[in-house]
Structure formats: C-alpha cells, structure tokens
C-alpha cells in the first residue's frame, strides 16, 4: 500500500509499505478520505506540536472515513474516531476520555494516522455512515466533533450575543452550531477575506475582516457597548484571543479551540481580570460522533460546502502546501 510519512519539518515522502497487522478487536479499513487539520499543519511546518516532538517518520491524518475491507462487515462505509483512550484511568472513569493521558491518537506520537491506503482500527471507534453521507462527509465528522465540544463548553443559551474568532473550517462549523443554539446575533471575524465571505454566506449577523484587532470595537459598537456573552476562538494566533477578550461582556465566557503557532497564548490580563472572564480550553472531541452524524444527516449542519480542495494521496505533499497557505477552506486527501 501507499503511505505518506513525515520525516522532518516540510519533508513528506510517499512510501510503498505492507499493510499493518491487526491488534485484537480491530477491523481493516480502506481509507476513502482524509482531512488536513490545523494540528497536521503544525506537524508539517514545525515537526512538532506543543510538547510532542517528531520521534520517527510519522503517518499523519486523524480526520478520516473509509470502507471496511474484510470480515462480516466488508463493504460497510464508516467514519472513524481517531482517539483511543485507555478507558481505565480516573479521567476516563469520570467521563472525560478526551483528557485521558494514555490516549492513542491517529497521526500523533507513536500512532500512525490515516494518510495511507489501509489502516486497522478498533471496532468501538468505528461508526457506520448513513446512506446520505459521503466518505468526505465522514471525514468532516471529526472537526465537527471539535466544534460541538467547543459549543458545549460555551454553555450557550437562546438569545445570546456570540462571537467566533477565526473562520476556518472549525470556526465555520461552530458558527452553524451557534445558529442552531438560538443565538440572537453571531459575529464572525477572520484576517482572510475569502473566509469572512464564507461566514457571511453561512448567515453570520456580521462578518468582519479583522485588521489589527479592530473587530473588538466593531462588536462593542454593534452591541451598544455591552459586548459578547460568549466568544469562541478557532484561530492559530494570540491576537484573536486578545481581541475576543476585549469584545466580551463583564462576566463573559471565552472558549479556546485554536492551537497557537508558538505554543503560547497571550492576552491582556488586566482586561480578562477586570471583566472576570471564564476561560475554557478545547481538547479534541468528547462523545460527539453520534451527534455529529445526526446533525449532518438531517442537513442541520453543512460540512460538504467547506471542502474546497481534493488532492490524491500521491500528491499529499502538495495538499499540505495548499492547506498551509490557507487557500480555500478544507483540503481533503483521497487515497
């Protein structure tokens, strides 16, 4: 089979490899679609993400779907949860498997991901796809799960003023969920014009091209000085976090889903302190796949229009270059 491995920063190579051997309770999946995520781009451009360093040539890719290739369920189209928590530690037993320190995660650390033609993965992490969902839709369920978890942490209530800082794929998925939650007004900001336009097309009350943090004042003006009830950040730089703090009301809630380039998040402590902000951070997904499937199946959330580039596995290095330049919205690799 073909597999794409990251050997060092900006060094992706296509290999011919044997299909890996299964572990107990796993099914063989022929990969059909793999999304390139912001965390993949950190691996690609830096050879690391946070305190996790590249130790060996690694197969990236954790947003994926495919078809079971053998056994009694052969031919079944499935989406795949990339996180395998231990299920036994205190964190797992308390209902927070996304925080499990022993998690095996596709395309991270020692666990090869989905940028290859075949993968074995635990049956309990496999979710059958309804007929109306394509394999590309299935690959989008993982970023939708991140968005669902972010909105859950935001504790939204009907009638709130909500801001979304960063209009990449996860930000645009958050926007749709915020609309479903009954927000009174949705403000979306980004530094890229085509992403601001995408937010506008999805029905943002106000889509703002942010220039040097100018969107905070625009939001305060639009809310008559009151500010946002909840702000959700889905960018990769601290400027968005600081802007969100400035746009929030007294006692507001800030949810951070973005991964900053230098593994540091900066904001004005005095602003956050005087406002008494509550700050929550998103760690992957949490029991979201069934909800995500229902939302897409019922057409309450549109994932399909966010896919703007489709590139073959053989050309995966070019796909990462496209995604790193922030062209379009979501880039999908098709093995």
What's the pLDDT tens digit per position in 171-197?
A: 999 999 999 999 999 999 999 999 999
- Kindly list the distances between the CA atom of residue 149 and the CA atoms of 57, 127, 177, 178, 305, in Å, as whole numbers in the listed order: 31, 18, 10, 12, 21
- The CATH architecture one would assign to domain 2-140+303-334 is Alpha-Beta Complex (3.90)
Residues 6 or more apart in contact with residue 67 via CB below 8 angstroms: 29, 30, 32, 75, 76, 77, 78, 135
The answer, yes or no, to whether residue 7 has pLDDT greater than 80, is: yes
The answer, yes or no, to whether residue 90 has pLDDT greater than 80, is: yes
> Residue 237: its pLDDT value, please?
76
Establish whether domains 2-140+303-334 and 145-281 are of one fold.
no
**What percent of the chain lies above the pLDDT cut of 90?**
92
Measure the CA–CA gap between 28 and 124, rounded to whole angstroms: 13
What pLDDT band is residue 300 in, cutting at 50, 70 and 90? very high
> Residue 236: its pLDDT value, please?
80
The answer, yes or no, to whether residue 86 has pLDDT greater than 80, is: yes
> Residue 332: its pLDDT value, please?
98
Tokens of 73: 């369920």
- Sort strands 83-84 and 77-80 into parallel, antiparallel or unpaired: unpaired
Q: What is the mean pLDDT of residues 12-27?
A: 94
> Residue 213: its pLDDT value, please?
82
Q: 263, 262, 233, 258: which is closest to 247 by C-alpha? A: 233
**What percent of the chain lies above the pLDDT cut of 70?**
100
Q: 147, 130, 98, 75: which is closest to 330 by C-alpha? A: 147
Coil, helix or strand for 168? coil
Domain positions in the chain are 2-140+303-334, 145-281
Q: What is the mean pLDDT of the chain?
A: 96
> Residue 51: its pLDDT value, please?
84
Q: What residue ranges in 153-304 does DSSP mark as E strands?
A: 161-165, 185-190, 206-209, 228-233, 248-256, 278-281
The topology under which CATH files domain 145-281 is Rossmann fold (3.40.50)
What pLDDT band is residue 212 in, cutting at 50, 70 and 90? confident
> Residue 153: its pLDDT value, please?
98
> Residue 96: its pLDDT value, please?
96
- pLDDT tens per residue, range 26-79: 999 999 999 999 999 999 999 988 888 999 999 999 999 999 999 899 999 999
> Residue 262: its pLDDT value, please?
81
Instruction: Report the alpha-carbon angle 257-269-174, nearest 5.
Output: 20
> Residue 159: its pLDDT value, please?
98
What pLDDT band is residue 211 in, cutting at 50, 70 and 90? confident
Residues 6 or more apart in contact with residue 138 via CB below 8 angstroms: 32, 33, 64, 65, 66, 77, 78, 79, 80, 129
Q: 50, 81, 60, 83: which is closest to 14 by C-alpha? A: 60
The answer, yes or no, to whether residue 105 has pLDDT greater than 80, is: yes
- pLDDT tens per residue, range 225-279: 999 999 999 998 779 999 999 999 999 999 999 998 888 898 999 999 999 999 9
């Amino acid at each position: 089979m073909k597999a794409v491995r990251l050997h060092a920063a900006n060094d992706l190579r296509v290999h011919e490899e044997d299909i890996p051997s299964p572990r107990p309770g796993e099914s063989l999946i022929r990969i059909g679609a793999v999304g390139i995520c912001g965390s993949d781009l950190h691996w690609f451009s830096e050879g690391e993400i946070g305190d996790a360093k590249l130790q060996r040539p690694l197969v990236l890719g954790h947003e994926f779907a495919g078809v079971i290739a053998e056994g009694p369920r052969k031919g079944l189209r499935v989406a795949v949860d990339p996180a395998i928590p231990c299920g036994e530690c205190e964190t797992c037993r308390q209902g927070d498997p996304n925080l499990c320190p022993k998690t095996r995660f596709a395309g991270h650390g020692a666990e090869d991901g989905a940028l290859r033609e075949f993968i074995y993965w635990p049956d309990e992490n496999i979710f059958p796809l309804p007929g109306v969902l394509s394999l590309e839709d299935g690959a989008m369920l993982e970023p939708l799960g991140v968005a669902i978890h972010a909105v859950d942490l935001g504790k939204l209530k009907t009638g709130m003023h909500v801001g979304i800082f960063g209009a990449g794929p996860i930000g645009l998925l958050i926007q749709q969920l915020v609309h479903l939650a009954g927000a009174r007004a949705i403000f979306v900001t980004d530094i890229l014009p085509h992403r601001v336009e995408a937010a506008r097309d999805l029905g943002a009350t106000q889509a703002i091209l942010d220039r040097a943090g100018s969107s905070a004042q625009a939001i305060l003006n639009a809310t008559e000085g009151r500010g946002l009830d909840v702000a959700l950040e889905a960018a990769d730089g601290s400027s968005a976090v600081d802007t969100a703090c400035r746009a929030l009301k007294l006692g507001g809630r800030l949810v951070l889903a973005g991964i900053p380039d230098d593994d540091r998040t900066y904001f004005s402590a005095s602003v956050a302190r005087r406002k008494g902000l509550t700050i929550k951070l998103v760690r992957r997904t949490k029991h979201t796949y069934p909800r995500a499937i229902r939302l897409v199946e019922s057409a309450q959330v549109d994932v399909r229009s966010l896919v703007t580039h489709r590139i073959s596995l053989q050309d995966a290095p070019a796909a990462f270059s496209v995604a790193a330049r922030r062209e379009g919205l979501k880039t999908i690799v098709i093995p």
